[in-house]
Amino acid sequence: MAMTESELNEILGKLPSKVQKNRSKHILVKDCSQPDQEIEANTRTIPGIITNRGCAYAGCKGVVLGPLKDMIHIVHGPIGCSYYAWGTRRNKGKTEDPSDNYLNYCFSTDMQEKDIVFGGEKKLAATIDEVVKIFNPKAITVSATCPVGLIGDDIQQVAKAAEARHGIQVLAFNCEGYKGVSQSAGHHIANNILMDKVIGNSTEEKAPKPFAINILGEYNIGGDSWEIERVLKEIGYHIVSVMTGDGSYEELRLAHTSELNLVQCHRSINYIAEMLETKYGTPWLKVNFIGINSTAESLRNMAQYFGDETLIRKTEEVILRELANIQPRIDQYRKICDGKRAFCFVGGSRGHHYQGLFAELGIETVLAGYEFAHRDDYEGRKVLPMIKTDSDSKNIPELHVERDTERYCVKLSPEIAEELRARIPLSNYTGLNIDMKDGSIVVDDLNHYETEEFIRLLKPDIFASGIKDKYVVQKMGIPAKQIHSYDYSGPYAGFNGAVNFARDVSMAFASPTWNYITPPWHKLPLLEGKINEGGAA
């Protein structure tokens, strides 16, 4: 069931005119006859609107830095910022020596009122010293939360002095929560410093094995990366580093030695991908390891890039065996799922990535979108030159990298590169919009009011989103599939992950719980209000 413009206007019509004007630019009804539908994204949420977005600190420390298991990540700020980020993003990690893995810890300067009044620099320096004394880590990160920027603590200076004292890298990130309009700003801040100070910070010049790759934008949520790596290693790839799921400081330093960079989550890490290409000449390939067909296609594209006959043959062998292994189980679950309709609204990449997996189970995505992605994640990288920078995006320093005079190396001849670009997404991402069906809805920064209204009108069978909105959805009698942290489940990536996802979604449909809930539209009030913009009479 497609949505009409008038139904959309019915939803937006309840809002004050200024808000209506703003929100209408963030929502589109897919019209296949218009190839370049625009959507506004990465702009401020209107104050007062209940958004699902996070903050810059969440994107920097929580998303990009947090999964680096052998570094200690100190949060400089009040304890709440640490506590609520402690273990909630299920980025798993293993180390041979368990004492080299700090993922289960929570390090905070626990700023108090007196630190806000008199400054927190001394406390931060003492925290770094204490951390070194107790744990003796290879490297440390310091992430600033809102008050740090407001009171003007110079964390860069504190980090520099600590580096001199301890002889290890101490990286400071000015990722105060308010630095951008969402966590997206924090991704960019983290990307810049990792690129500037860690990646390539090693004397190694060559990977020890052929087919050396980095996996960018894969965070090992619920073990996703392990399932992807299992297959890649069997095919014959040498994984230099994963950024940053189950990732390590040591591996990151070697990332310049790879021959290809895979990009899973474009939103959070396209900056590093681009900078690696500029500095070392290593192209990146957009992959999607969510969904059976996308996984197979990504593997085939990788083999095409290397163009090695043995690798191509092995890729086909592995795909064939994996498909034979999972297809009977997928077919069983498909019987439960077939014909259902989903909303797929996640942070920055999964709103797109999960649609193929839903389709493989017979589930159609009727509404999708991102909390904080940019226009290129919707419309494709072709819009990059058209994106205007506003004062919020100017807030984040741009890192200008240049070609490394010694290490830059052309990986493909211009003719082969051009020929490949016509066939595979080499250094390109075409975005979410192109894959949406006619009449489906694309919403940027979906808020709670719109969530309820879209559910009431379109009545999806399942709502794939996150922890912030799942209870609202469930109370409306609709199963919610949490695809940020997967609640207690996963992995969902790769071939075996697809079976886990099919099982969990089928369980959600088959649960008798929903029979006990009366959706609110069965008992709606008869009186409806309208906003009186002239004020009360």
Rounded-to-integer distance, Cα 278 and Cα 55, Å: 29
| Interaction between residue 89 and ligand CFM (CB under 6 A) | yes
Q: How far is the CB of 188 from ligand CFM (least distance, A)?
A: 12
Question: How many chain residues touch ligand CFM (CB under 6 A)?
Answer: 16
| Interaction between residue 53 and ligand CFM (CB under 6 A) | no
Q: What share of the chain is helix, strand, coil (3-state, %, to 5)?
A: 45, 15, 40
55 catalytically annotated: yes
Of the listed pieces 20-28, 344-352, 445-453, 496-504, which binds ligand CFM according to CB under 6 A?
344-352
430 contacts 380 by C-beta, under 8 angstroms: yes
Binding mask 261-300 for ligand CFM (x = CB under 6 A): ----x-xx--------------------------------
436 contacts 3 by C-beta, under 8 angstroms: no
Q: How far is the CB of 473 from ligand CFM (least distance, A)?
A: 16
409 catalytically annotated: no
Q: How many residues does the chain have?
A: 537
Q: At what angle do helices 309-337 and 494-510 cross, to 10 degrees?
A: 0
Rounded-to-integer distance, Cα 214 and Cα 302, Å: 12
| Interaction between residue 349 and ligand CFM (CB under 6 A) | yes
89 catalytically annotated: yes
Of the listed pieces 115-123, 214-222, 437-445, 503-511, which binds ligand CFM according to CB under 6 A?
214-222
Rounded-to-integer distance, Cα 497 and Cα 233, Å: 17
Kindly name the residue from 41, 55, 81, 303 that is annotated as catalytic. 55
| Interaction between residue 63 and ligand CFM (CB under 6 A) | yes
Number of other residues whose CB lies within 10 A of the CB of residue 374: 22
**For residue 451, what is the enclosing H or E element?**
helix 448-458
- Shorter beta-carbon distance to ligand CFM: residue 348 or 356: 348
- Shorter beta-carbon distance to ligand CFM: residue 214 or 268: 268
Token couple for 362: 């017979």
Q: How far is the CB of 56 from ligand CFM (least distance, A)?
A: 11
Rounded-to-integer distance, Cα 175 and Cα 189, Å: 7
- Shorter beta-carbon distance to ligand CFM: residue 217 or 497: 217
Q: What are phi and psi of 346, to 5 degrees?
A: -130, -170
Report 474-503 residues binding ligand CFM (CB under 6 A).
Answer: 484
Of the listed pieces 9-17, 147-155, 232-240, 343-351, which binds ligand CFM according to CB under 6 A?
343-351
| Interaction between residue 464 and ligand CFM (CB under 6 A) | no
Report 400-419 residues binding ligand CFM (CB under 6 A).
Answer: none
- From the list 390, 465, 464, 384, the residue with the least C-alpha distance to 427 is 384
Closest-by-Cβ residue to ligand CFM is 347
Rounded-to-integer distance, Cα 199 and Cα 430, Å: 27
222 contacts 91 by C-beta, under 8 angstroms: no
Rounded-to-integer distance, Cα 300 and Cα 317, Å: 11
422 catalytically annotated: no
Active-site annotation, residues:
55, 58, 89, 187
Binding site for ligand CFM (CB under 6 A): 59, 63, 89, 183, 217, 219, 221, 265, 267-268, 346-350, 484
